[in-house]
Each structure stands twice: as structure tokens, then as C-alpha cells.
Amino acid sequence: MNRRPLTALLGLSILLCAAAWLPAGPLDPPGGAVSSTYKTLTEVEPRIPISLATTPGDADSLFRITSPGSYYLTGNITGVIGKHGIEIAAGEVTIDLNGFALSGVAGMGAFSGIIMSTGINQPNITIRNGTVRA
């Protein structure tokens, strides 16, 4: 005699009985207005856009990063003769190019797209997701 169907039926019966005893929680939602449960990007990963307002440049760079943190581009950057594109003057910096490009200018006097300040200990510099080209 084949006992598999009987064993399967017995197992299914036990499972259904156990499911009837498990609490499912209240079906009535809590009172009050419904509010969102998502987190903003700033709460998940606080990042700073690279712009004149947040990373102002100096005499030899368009943008200058002076504090550790995570930075990102909001558009392409085209170089200027006599200036670097982005100067990093701090450690623990991540730059997400966001798929954008740092493009240099042709001719004499063009500086680097991204440069690290000399004489400063700058561990853990990460640059990702974009293009730096002459």
C-alpha cells in the first residue's frame, strides 16, 4: 500500500490547523493621518553637490573640496585655462561623477581635471562613475 498520499494529507491537515492558531495582528489601521515611511536620499546617504555655493574654488581651481564627505556632480564640467577642475584638500572624500565628464581645454596652460593638494595627508580618496578627459 502506498502511504505517500495519506502522509501528504496528514501533513496538510496539521499545517492548516497550525495556521488557524497563529495570530495575524489587528486588521484596523491606527488612527490619524497616513504619513510616508520612506527616507530621503540625504537621510540614506548625505551627499554634497559640487557647485560654487558648496565647494567654491580659489585662484587655481574651479572647485575646491576642503572637508571630508561624499560629493557628486550635477552636470559636466569644462576646464578653464590656468585652473584645475576640482582640487581635493581633505581626506576621506568620495566624488561620484554621476556619469558626467570633466573635460579639459586644448592648448597651453591647461591644468589637471582633478588634483590633490600637496603636503596634506589625504587617505581614502574615491572617484567613480564618470569620465575625466583632456
Task: Express each pLDDT in 75-116 by its tens digit.
Answer: 999 888 889 899 999 999 999 999 999 988 877 676 888 888
pLDDT at position 4: 78
* pLDDT in the model for residue 48: 93
Would you kindly state where each structural domain of the chain is located, as residue ranges? Answer: 41-133
User: Where do runs of H (alpha helix) occur along 22-63?
Assistant: 41-44
Q: Where are the beta strands (DSSP E) in 11-124?
A: 48-49, 56-58, 61-65, 69-72, 77-78, 84-88, 93-96, 101-103, 114-116
**106 near 133, Cβ under 8 Å?**
no
Interval 20-42 mean pLDDT = 74
In the predicted structure, residue 35 carries a pLDDT above the cut 90: no
This prediction has a pTM of 0.67
